[in-house]
Amino acid sequence: MELRMQALEAAINYWRAKQPARGNEYALSPPVSRLARVYALMIYYRQDRIAEEGLEPAILALIDAWRRDAGGIQGDSHT
């Protein structure tokens, strides 16, 4: 299965709403930070989708929770 950038952006926004940045330095929450690393690499390598099989289990769990709670988005290859 593939994860599209649009779906990853939606998952990041979902987790940002659930666990917003805190503190004076507005550090990202751990879930958002994990997803943001994947997002940054996709931008760096100019990818608009990534194989889910290559993602860490913790990242897949965050994506699965977003899909379950938010219902995913249109165009998400998982739905």
Question: What does the pLDDT look like over 24-64, one tens digit per residue?
Answer: 778 999 999 999 999 999 999 999 999 999 999 999 999 99
Mean pLDDT of 56-79: 80
Do 63 and 52 form a contact (C-beta atoms < 8 A)? Answer: yes
Query: Could you tell me the sign of the dihedral formed by the alpha carbons of 36, 50, 52, 3, in that order?
Result: positive
Query: Regarding predicted confidence, which is higher, 77 or 12?
Result: 12
Question: What does the pLDDT look like over 4-28, one tens digit per residue?
Answer: 999 999 999 999 999 998 887 789 9
pTM value is: 0.86
Residue ranges of domains in the chain: 2-65
Q: Which pLDDT score, from 0 to 100, does residue 37 have?
A: 97
Q: Which pair of structure tokens corresponds to residue 27?
A: 């550090």
